[in-house]
Amino acid sequence: MGAAAAAGVPLTARGYSKGIRLLTYYNSEAIANTDWQNLAATTDTLVFYMSGETCFELAAQLIAHGKLASTPILLAEQATTPLQAFQLSTLGTCRQQWSSHRFLSPALLIIGEVAALHQQFAWASYEANPKEFFAPVRKIVVPPFTLPAVQPSIH
């Protein structure tokens, strides 16, 4: 939601979208083959997290299952940080437009007619800045949770 607000994209703008679907697509197994047709047919705004490096495959899958190639797609990188950047394209042209782009994490994609509203409602200008604000997360190790020792109270 913060990325959309920073980009000036109203995710459920009247006349454009009645709903939002929040998904991840970080590898080809993240979405079941049976779900692609439903995703391609919806008028809901699709927001894909962790999808910068898989955006070309994602666009191809949506088009192959019936989404129009002219559907707007907005790439949001490092949104809500001082190094945020946004790039607008379409499902059919993003591969050509972003083929030499180095995707910075965190990156998400906003797909649907509302993405084009970025041009109208963007409230700040952004410079392409290929520096990473966050160190890449490789593997998160979560220590096991243990309850603290309870000290008996004496009354």
Pick the CATH number of 2-121 from 3.30.950.10, 3.30.70.20, 3.40.50.970, 3.30.565.10: 3.30.950.10
Spans of all domains in the chain = 2-121
CB 41 within 8 A of CB 71: no
Give the CA angle between residues 110, 13, 79 to the nearest 5°: 35
Angstrom distance (rounded) from CA 74 to CA 6: 12
Range 125-139 average pLDDT: 65
Three-state DSSP class for residue 76: strand
Q: In this predicted model, what pLDDT tens digit does every residue of 30-75 receive, in sequence order? A: 898 889 999 999 999 999 998 888 999 999 999 999 999 999 999 9
Range in 14-23, 62-71, 114-123 with the lowest mean pLDDT? 114-123
Q: How many Cβ atoms are within 10 Å of 45's Cβ, its own excluded?
A: 24
